[in-house]
Amino acid sequence: MTALLQNVFAGLALGATYALVALGFVIIYKATGVLNFAQGGLLALGSYLGYTFTNSLAVAFGIAIVLACASAALVGAAFQRVVLTRMVGQPVFAVVMITIGLLFVLDPLVTAIWGFDNLQLANPWNIQRVVAGELVLGVRDLWSIGLTATVVAAFFVFFRYSRLGVAMRATAFDPEAALAQGISARRVFAVSWAISSALAALAGITLAAGPGGLSPAIGLIALTAFPAMILGGLDSPAGAVLGGLIVGLAEALTRGYQDQLFSWAGENVSVIVPYVIMVLILLVRPYGLLGTAEVRRI
């Protein structure tokens, strides 16, 4: 029982990170109708910037997080402004491919600047643990869950009550009608890229503060967040969070019980479990768990 709870906790912590990244995907998708493959690159960039702020510039950890998120947001918004505005009216495929291009540019850029070595991000959490009954909870995991919960809550409040949030929802719903109401679509697009990149940077830093440390492979987590987002539904923020948690739990549980239950499926089967779950769910619900079914009219 303790082992199970321990695995569930690990799954929640992992799922929280996925949820952050998936939420970033959904925000950009809702605003611009594009899937941002570069999220992984922005995540890596953000976490390495966090490393520079804490380790090289010796900024306090909390401030470093804010600075890294802000810089990532700036990069994301700049990319949207410089490149993607030229692509308005082009097919979705072309725009999606451009974000893949960006991913392949950011990745080598990060390794060119920071190298291939595994770096340790200076952080106050480290490997500290809290013991609750028989459970051993990592402080970083607790923070990761807490931060995600806060950000998600703040995000929902922002979307519901703030002027910009409502403008973003309106643009997502019908860009032309929103324009007619005097909403600047350009601003909404740039802001959604900024928010999404900041979320990616936050996810990257919480991940880099963990036992894995910081390595160029950190961006790969964004690829696992794809199933999380698709599973929840491309256009549903709540779905992204739900999908993130499901995928995180499933991955952690398969890893925890690899030897007892999943030895037949080969080593490291937990890596592909998110994709398998996604495929199975999509066969039953083609628009994800909470996504809006596309109405096709002649």
Partner 1 sequence: MKAAGTVSGGRPHRNLTRRYEQDLRLFGSPWSRAGLAGLLLTYLTLPTVLHDDFWLSVLIYAGITSIGAIGLNLLTGFCGQVSLGHAFFVGAGAYCASVVGGDLGLPLPLWLLAAAALGALVGGLIGPFALRLRGLYLAIVTLGLVFIGEHLWRNLDGVTGGNSGTSVTAAAVLGPLDFDALNLGGEQYSRNQGWFWLVWSLVLVTALLAKNLVRTRPGRAMQAVRDRDLAAEVIGVSAGRYKVGAFAVSSAIAAVGGGLFGTYQQFVSPDEWGLILSVQYIAVIIVGGLGTVFGSILGALFVGALPALIDRYSHAIPGVSAGVGGDGVITVFALNQMIFGLLIVGFLVFEPRGLAGIWLRIKAYFTGWPFSY
CB of 103 to partner 1, least distance (A): 7
CB of 187 to partner 1, least distance (A): 22
By CB under 8 A, name the one of 43, 64, 234, 247 that touches partner 1. 234
Please say whether the dihedral angle defined by the alpha carbons of residues 59, 44, 276 and 152, taken in this order, is positive or negative: positive
Please say whether the dihedral angle defined by the alpha carbons of residues 252, 211, 18 and 150, taken in this order, is positive or negative: positive
By CB under 8 A, name the one of 66, 109, 170, 238 that touches partner 1. 109
Contact flag: residue 217 with partner 1 (CB under 8 A): no
**Among 220, 186, 180, which residue's Cα sits nearest to residue 203?**
220
Contact flag: residue 87 with partner 1 (CB under 8 A): yes
Per the listing, tokens 């890294």 go with 68
Range in contact with partner 1 (rule: CB under 8 A) among 108-116, 128-136, 167-175, 239-247: 108-116
Contact flag: residue 159 with partner 1 (CB under 8 A): no
Quote the CA–CA distance of 217 and 106 in Å, as a whole number.
12
Contact flag: residue 259 with partner 1 (CB under 8 A): no
Is 198:72 a contact under the CB 8 Å cutoff? Answer: yes
By CB under 8 A, name the one of 35, 68, 142, 208 that touches partner 1. 35
In degrees, rounded to 5, the angle at the alpha carbon of residue 279 between the alpha carbons of residues 275 and 285 is 135
Distances (CA, A) of 97 to 36, 41, 186, 191, 202: 9, 14, 20, 21, 25
The residues of the shown chain that bind partner 1, judged by CB under 8 A, are 29, 35, 83, 86-87, 90, 92-94, 96-98, 100-109, 111-112, 116, 223, 226-227, 230, 234, 265-269, 271-272, 275-276, 278-279, 282-283, 286-288, 294, 296, 298
